[in-house]
């Protein structure tokens, strides 16, 4: 087990390297000086020139890359062009909000998607199954921004039951538990919008796994043993069908971060996504790159976790 995790860690080293190269390459393509925004804003003009030389802005790209990488490794993500704010501080401020949103959507995806998939599989080729299949297909087909607008139109404008955006009620200034409730109230719509297509993906995947597993020989064995239907479905079939669903854990992470860009900007959710959209409009490439790097690393970490979970869940890999 420990060896397996170690092997996966070693395998991901070149991927981490690749992620930094690609991040750097995109930044390099951007108009302007990729390293200019690393210079400490508090120093004088002469010092900036010295600093430029020290940072090696006239060096070939691979030297620049190495310099950039060592800065990033030390946690320096640079400064914004406008106002010279620390990018690290900006992101740190937004990071928890995005995590709250994506994590809620993540939980929702599996809490809703898995039961839907199981229901479809055990009622295969019935009206329920067809209904759920069409729902799933609509779920993956609807553009999330359109769904977001529809949801705001329906629940905020027509029914007025949920706020149309933001994370807290600015006027009420709740504290303590009331604040938590307020955030939850603001969270519901964006979390639904962000999770919808993931729910659909999870349910489709669960259904097809479950259908395959129900055809397995050991299910026939379980029936021959005279086990009741519930035991066959949940103990024998479901647990086997769930193992491959773990791979979707890993895949969901980049998917949800992507979705957060759109969802956050529609709902004015103060997270990394809306920061990224703002950064693009303001041409703050430093922020865009930092976000790329951070999310790609999180995705890698998520995939690693999924692989480990997979090994934990499946005795055939565990041993």
Site for other proteins in 263-282 (CB under 8 A): 265-266, 276-277, 280-281
Q: What DSSP state is assigned to residue 167?
A: S
**Count of H helices and E strands in the chain?**
13, 0
| The token pair that represents 287 in the structure block | 């922020």
State yes or no: residue 7 binds other proteins (CB under 8 A): no
Quote the Cα angle for 200-152-257, to 5°. 50
- Range in contact with other proteins (rule: CB under 8 A) among 55-63, 166-174, 185-193, 229-237: 229-237
State yes or no: residue 127 binds other proteins (CB under 8 A): no
CB-nearer residue toward other proteins: 79 or 238: 238
Residue 139 CA to residue 160 CA, distance in Å, equals 24
State yes or no: residue 192 binds other proteins (CB under 8 A): no
Yes or no: say if 52 and 59 are a contact pair by the CB < 8 Å rule. no
Residue 79 CA to residue 217 CA, distance in Å, equals 60
Residue 56 to residues 22, 48, 81, 145, 185: CA-CA distances in angstroms? 20, 12, 19, 43, 50
Yes or no: say if 39 and 55 are a contact pair by the CB < 8 Å rule. yes
Residue 115 CA to residue 233 CA, distance in Å, equals 12
State yes or no: residue 222 binds other proteins (CB under 8 A): yes
Residue 291 CA to residue 276 CA, distance in Å, equals 7
Residue 106 CA to residue 69 CA, distance in Å, equals 31
State yes or no: residue 160 binds other proteins (CB under 8 A): no
State yes or no: residue 309 binds other proteins (CB under 8 A): no
Per CB under 8 A, the list member of 292, 306, 307, 311 interacting with other proteins is 292
In terms of Cα–Cα distance, which of 244, 240, 267 is closest to 104?
267
- Range in contact with other proteins (rule: CB under 8 A) among 41-49, 82-90, 103-111, 233-241: 233-241
Yes or no: say if 91 and 290 are a contact pair by the CB < 8 Å rule. yes
State in angstroms the smallest separation of the CB of 83 from other proteins. Answer: 20
Yes or no: say if 77 and 38 are a contact pair by the CB < 8 Å rule. no
State in angstroms the smallest separation of the CB of 264 from other proteins. Answer: 11
Per CB under 8 A, the list member of 300, 305, 308, 309 interacting with other proteins is 300
Residue 258 CA to residue 279 CA, distance in Å, equals 15
Per CB under 8 A, the list member of 50, 53, 66, 149 interacting with other proteins is 149
State in angstroms the smallest separation of the CB of 21 from other proteins. Answer: 8
CB-nearer residue toward other proteins: 79 or 261: 261
State in angstroms the smallest separation of the CB of 262 from other proteins. Answer: 6
Query: Contacts with other proteins in 78-97 (CB under 8 A)?
Result: none
State yes or no: residue 162 binds other proteins (CB under 8 A): no
CB-nearer residue toward other proteins: 174 or 218: 218
CB-nearer residue toward other proteins: 46 or 217: 217
| The token pair that represents 74 in the structure block | 């030390």
- Range in contact with other proteins (rule: CB under 8 A) among 38-46, 83-91, 132-140, 185-193: 132-140
Q: How far is CA 111 from the centre of its chain?
A: 17
CB-nearer residue toward other proteins: 162 or 261: 261
Q: Tell me, residue by residue from 13 to 32, as one string, x for binding to other proteins by CB under 8 A and - for no binding.
A: -xx--xx-xx---x--xxx-
Per CB under 8 A, the list member of 157, 160, 171, 177 interacting with other proteins is 157
CB-nearer residue toward other proteins: 162 or 177: 162
């Amino acid at each position: 087990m420990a060896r397996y995790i170690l092997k996966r860690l070693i395998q991901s080293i070149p991927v981490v390297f690749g992620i930094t190269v690609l991040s750097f390459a995109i930044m390099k393509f951007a108009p302007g000086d990729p390293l200019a925004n690393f210079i400490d804003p508090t120093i004088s003009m002469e010092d900036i020139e010295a600093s430029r030389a020290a940072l090696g802005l006239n060096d070939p790209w691979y030297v620049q890359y190495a310099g950039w990488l060592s800065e990033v490794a030390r946690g320096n993500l640079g400064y914004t062009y406008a106002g010279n704010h620390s990018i690290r501080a900006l992101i740190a401020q937004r990071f928890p909000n995005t995590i709250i949103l994506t994590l809620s959507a993540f939980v929702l995806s599996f809490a809703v998607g898995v039961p839907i998939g199981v229901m479809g599989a055990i009622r295969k080729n019935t009206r329920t199954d067809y209904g759920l299949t069409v729902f799933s297909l609509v779920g993956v087909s609807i553009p999330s921004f359109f769904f977001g607008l529809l949801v705001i139109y329906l629940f905020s404008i027509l029914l007025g039951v949920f706020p149309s955006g933001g994370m807290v009620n600015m006027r009420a200034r709740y504290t303590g538990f009331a604040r938590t409730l307020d955030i939850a109230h603001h969270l519901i719509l964006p979390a639904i919008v962000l999770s919808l297509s993931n729910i659909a993906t999870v349910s489709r995947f669960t259904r097809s796994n479950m259908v395959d597993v129900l055809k397995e020989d050991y299910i026939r064995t379980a029936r021959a043993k005279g086990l009741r239907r519930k035991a066959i479905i949940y103990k024998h079939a479901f647990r086997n069908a769930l193992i491959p669903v773990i791979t979707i854990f890993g895949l969901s992470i980049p998917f949800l971060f992507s979705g957060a860009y759109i969802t956050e900007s529609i709902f004015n959710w103060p997270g990394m996504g809306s920061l990224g959209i703002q950064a693009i409009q303001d041409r703050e490439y430093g922020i865009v790159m930092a976000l790329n790097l951070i999310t790609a690393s999180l995705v890698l970490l998520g995939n690693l976790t999924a692989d480990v979970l997979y090994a934990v869940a499946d005795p055939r890999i565990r041993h």
